[in-house]
Structure 1
């Protein structure tokens, strides 16, 4: 394995830049940390450009080192590269890959309208994965899916299902063309989620933490839906709300 000792090494400087969206978009690469995320990336054939290993870390025996281009670094450099308080000893530089996704008649989709908190987006993606959703579409204003906090919150679910950037207006139109009903989370003029007629397919739109779903999406909806609440809370966290709605829509499928 190759070794890097200097904090001034060009590769170290380049990898550190991957915590910025600008550099991720420019290079087509992103950084993941910890054995769990790397295991998930390997299992789902995510292209890994480099593996970065802290010198005292023991690598799993089932990892194919010849295909991972491993670099060994001292603890001080691992701390520089990590954006967590307690580095896990191993990181990977991954290449982004295209994930083609188009609505189909029997598909189940989650459309994200401007969710800005990384933890919320990661949790939503993880929940969509757990519920068997066919794809997640990230609309304008949504936090970058390759943000390190998003990646950690997905717990590897990003590698299990298609997550793509797209125009929500176009996606809603295409879903309707395919006969996929579009449900939009809203309050005014909305039906309780339990009253929605069951359907074998659906597209659910959830919105920004503060302002909710854009007017354009609300106006294009087949149904506006809300979650009845029986306590005194005024609202739910968007990730929690998305989870409840996905569960109910999946439970009611024909």
Structure 2
């Protein structure tokens, strides 16, 4: 059992709380039984499981490298208010080699809860791909991971230059809808194509104008009350579920 936060292995786990270290190691931490089970059932690689003394580990996880730790070590590793006493180290999986039918493109969304909610909604709406543009909050941020409720392990998600990705998608025959008001059509007035990518943007400034110009079509959502706009995760949800009906 590991009992000291100064232990080298414990220090390396704690480093994974920082994006810089996650990028260097190409690994990240997840907390709780549900997230670990979702990762276990997916094609993401769990490299280690860390459990607090007294916590019962699922027998199906016995093939992984298991590490028992004391209460103080678990407290130093956990990020949640009511920790379950179990974490896992997972290797990043961001391969781009895959054809898509329904994709969400995310431009500079900053709030971890917004990104996590969009990933969870995309999973529920039957989308297969999410592409995260530069300036978007880190996918492996603890708050993002928890907000996805495991959906991040069900989808093909990777980071890329959205200018290049839009060009590539359009060459491959994918229609790109950008949210925005300039020269936009109400989404319910459009035919939904077989291959579609929906582009959503920053909470304050929306989609980058240069990206919007690249889109095949700009779309907007009707607002019937006095609100000026919708939260980006709500707007994305409306559009993704509209697509899901087709």
Q: How does the TM-score come out when normalised to structure 1?
A: 0.93
2-structure distance, mates of 1:209, 1:100 = 26
Equivalent of 1:64, from 61, 67, 79? 61
Range 192-201 or range 35-44, more displaced? 192-201
- How far residue 103 of structure 1 moved from its aligned partner, in angstroms, is 4.7
1-structure distance, mates of 2:41, 2:115 = 23
The gaps in structure 1 that reach 5 residues or longer are none
Which residue pairs with 1:92 in the alignment?
A: 88
SS of the aligned residue for 1:19 comes to coil
Which residue pairs with 1:19 in the alignment?
A: 17
Contact 1:113 1:168 survives alignment (8 Å): yes
- How far residue 100 of structure 1 moved from its aligned partner, in angstroms, is 2.6
Q: How does the TM-score come out when normalised to structure 2?
A: 0.96
Which residue pairs with 1:114 in the alignment?
A: 108
Which residue pairs with 1:198 in the alignment?
A: 192
What is the total number of aligned residue pairs between the two structures? 246
2-structure distance, mates of 1:191, 1:44 = 38
- How far residue 102 of structure 1 moved from its aligned partner, in angstroms, is 4.7
- How far residue 149 of structure 1 moved from its aligned partner, in angstroms, is 0.6
SS of the aligned residue for 2:130 comes to strand
Contact 1:101 1:135 survives alignment (8 Å): no
Contact 1:103 1:178 survives alignment (8 Å): no
Where do 1:131-150 residues align within 5 Å? 131-150=125-144
Where do 1:138-177 residues align within 5 Å? 138-177=132-171
